[in-house]
Homo-oligomer: A and B are copies of this chain.
């Protein structure tokens, strides 16, 4: 199975390769280490850079009840082809939103409680490359962004993402937002968790003249807003990484709902 495309396409390729050798529905395997059998040989060829799906051990899927990944050692691609020429022609906004997925998951990995020396080394290098790409004029920006994406994906292999990704999953599930833009929408309201990074993110947005959509949850029926909170709350490891083992005391339904209401 060969996946050529952005994060969703590569994730689909991973999921198909897993489901060819594991019985039942993909929904049965959403979670951590539920896969029993190795996948068929699968190859990832990214045409967008940032998600890290080319190296991550998850394939994020939207099921009937939640948005959650199949996280397993067998999910990882057997082979990856990284060709920066494949980034040519992508629109500035898509390039930015996907790149920010990398930037944001590195912020969350580097500030998380699950961090180890492996995740830190990769996360630091991905951050350095993101800064070169998004805050400087870099002649080989596409190569750098592809490496940033790879390093960012490796960084979360042994650590975890955090508050922004958890909230972003709720936005995607209920509003159908792409993951990259969902991250950006959420991150801009997370100054209390990641103050310096949010400030830097805003400088990156300004530099590339990106305008985020606003007021997304203004007219949302309560029922949908509660569903959004449910989807975010399922992601326990993300909250624990961001806030520690007692995260449930710090991150209540009310607090998540308030955050969503501002978006």
Interface residues of A (CB under 8 A from B): 82, 84, 116-118, 120-122, 124-125, 128-129, 140, 143-144, 146-147, 150-151
Number of copies: 2
- Bound-complex Cα distance A153 to B99 (A): 27
Would you call B117 and A147 a contact (CB within 8 A)?
yes
Residues from chain B with a CB closer than 8 A to the CB of A146 are: 117
Contact A117 B84 (CB under 8 A): yes
Interface pair A144/B124, CB less than 8 Å apart? no
Whole-angstrom distance between the Cβ of A139 and the nearest chain B Cβ: 12
Contact of A125 among B116, B124, B144, B150 (CB under 8 A): B124
Within the complex, the shortest CB–CB distance from A79 to chain B, in Å, comes to 11
The 7 closest A-B pairs by CB, nearest first: A117-B143, A125-B125, A121-B147, A117-B147, A121-B125, A121-B151, A118-B147
> CB-CB < 8 A to A140: which residues of B?
117
Cα-based distance from A143 to B158 in the complex (angstroms): 15
Bound form: Cα–Cα A116–B116 in Å: 27
A84 CB → nearest B CB, Å: 7
Closest to A118 in B: B147
Q: Which residues of B contact A144 (CB under 8 A)?
A: 117, 121
Residues of chain B contacted by A122 (CB below 8 angstroms): 125
CA distance A205 to B191 in the complex (A): 44
- A82 and B129 alpha carbons, distance in the complex (Å): 25
The listed residue (B82, B117, B118, B124) touching A118 by CB distance below 8 A is B82
CB distance from A212 to the nearest CB of B (A): 29
Q: Which residues of B contact A129 (CB under 8 A)?
A: 121
* Bound form: Cα–Cα A82–B157 in Å: 15
- Docked pose: A140 CA to B115 CA in angstroms: 13
How far in angstroms is the closest Cβ of chain B from A176?
34
A/B interface sample: 8 pairs, CB < 8 A: A84-B117, A117-B146, A117-B147, A118-B147, A118-B150, A120-B147, A121-B129, A121-B144
CA distance A124 to B124 in the complex (A): 11
Within the assembled complex, what's the spacing in Å between the Cα atoms of A84 and B146? 30
A121 contact set on B, CB distance < 8 A: 125, 129, 144, 147, 150-151
